[in-house]
Amino acid sequence: MIKLEGINKTFDDGYEALKDINLHCNSGEITVLIGPSGCGKTTTMKLINRLINQSEGKIYFDGEDISDINPVELRRSVGYVIQHVGLFPHMTIEKNIGVVPKLLKWEDDRIKTRVNELLNMVGLDPETYRQRYPSELSGGQQQRIGVIRALAAEPPIILMDEPFSALDPISREQLQDELVRLQKNIQKTIVFVTHDMDEALKIADQIVLMKDGVIVQQGTPEEILRYPANDFVEDFIGQKRLKQVQDIPTVGEVMNEKPVTISPTRGLAEAMKVMENKRVDTLIVVDNDNQLTGYITVYDVTQAFDNVDQHVKDIMHTFQHTINADMLLSNAIRMMNNLQTPYLPVVKDDGSLVGVLTRGSIVGYIGTAYPSVKEAVVN
């Protein structure tokens, strides 16, 4: 969605703010830019919104060079949330949220519907808050309005420059949770600037750690925590966080490496026999190249058993969620709990099956790694 190629930025006084920045922000993900003051993260964001222009390099939105887009039109198509909210004090909440849609000449009824929808989305009753003014809201409520105002015109891209840093710790944590929850529904491409590593680890799909105008390391929160690139990254993360992660196993250390599988071309009688022999109620379906294809349950087989012409491929379901072996076990457990699923297939980047994480394999690991826990459960 957003691509920066060979970006350099030198200001008129000769200061080099950015040096050869190459960055790709995936569509529908939160990319967090983080680093100490003066590292170039806010400058990078301003370039994306064309508040300033780069000295060298290109920036693309969905393959289109943004230098070919009218700056005003570009900014109206990008949501922007800043640290100090920036609500217009003389406007009601409804008018604040509707600023960009109004500029885009939306009809009044459409704007009102959108305002109500967004207020409900963040738990603020439209009848109560729509006609209030910013001064009548708490800091956390104002920041919620700032976030949904950026969403009002349904932009594909949202830029957030330290939006929660001025809030108290409780409000800040609530807004972080709110953003993560919202993103599951709206799936926007979000670039988020912060100097707080805990915040980055909590909300990011990708973390970009910067120092002195260069990207020092980019990766998922797990990759950053597990494989810090150098001493600077380790110091910025902090030894306490690193130690906590080092004590947490990955999925690959806990998963069952030999799940019970079946080919999609096999018959239902054979599938039933495999379930009986292996004493399982579900089979994972893989093709001849070990590519994950889907799964079948004993219920599926019994329902279709009388049809001798059917095969596994005719009744199988596809997996909606998979994980990789490098994922932290704690995150995988949280994912299983949220999805209310007893297991998750573990695949490589190419889609080939390497194992399955089950509740049983998790309990087995805990019993081996923490025998005192097992003894306490048994007793």
Distance CA 264, CA 285 (A): 6
Identify the CA nearest to 143 among candidates 117, 116, 124: 124
Angle between helices 139-151 and 108-121 (to 10 degrees): 130
CB 187 within 8 A of CB 195: no
- Judged by phi (left if over 0) then psi (alpha if -120 to 50, else beta), residue 180 lies in alpha
pLDDT in tens, 118-175: 999 888 999 999 999 999 998 889 988 988 998 898 899 999 998 888 788 888 888 8
pLDDT computed for residue 370 by the predictor? 58
Distance CA 155, CA 161 (A): 17
pLDDT in tens, 346-368: 999 899 999 999 999 998 888 77
* Backbone Cα Rg of the chain: 25
Distance CA 313, CA 311 (A): 5
- Counting residues of the chain whose pLDDT is more than 90, the rounded percentage is 64
What SS3 class is residue 159? strand
Identify the CA nearest to 262 among candidates 285, 239, 279: 285
Token pair 């490496």 is found at 257
pLDDT computed for residue 375 by the predictor? 47
Token pair 């707080």 is found at 196
Query: 252-374 in CATH: which number?
Result: 3.10.580.10
Tokens at 319, concatenated: 């997996």
CB 12 within 8 A of CB 201: no
Distance CA 170, CA 176 (A): 10
The contacts of residue 39 (CB under 8 Å, 6+ apart) are 210, 211, 212, 213
Classify domain 2-246 at the CATH topology level. Rossmann fold (3.40.50)
Q: Is the pLDDT of residue 246 over 70?
A: no
pLDDT in tens, 68-119: 999 888 988 898 888 776 789 999 999 999 998 998 899 999 999 999 999 9
DSSP character at residue 29 = -
The answer to whether the pTM exceeds 0.75 is: no
Q: Is the pLDDT of residue 376 over 50?
A: no
Q: Where are the domains of the chain?
A: 2-246, 252-374
Q: Which residues pair with 158 in a beta bridge?
A: 79, 190
Token pair 């000295």 is found at 55
Distance CA 180, CA 256 (A): 30
Q: Is the pLDDT of residue 345 over 90?
A: yes
Distance CA 372, CA 355 (A): 27
Q: Is the pLDDT of residue 378 over 50?
A: no
DSSP secondary structure, 62-110, as one string = TTEEGGGS-HHHHHHTEEEE-TT----TTS-HHHHHTHHHHHTT--HHH
Length of the chain measured in residues:
379
pLDDT in tens, 185-242: 889 999 999 999 999 999 999 999 999 999 999 999 888 988 889 999 999 998 778 7
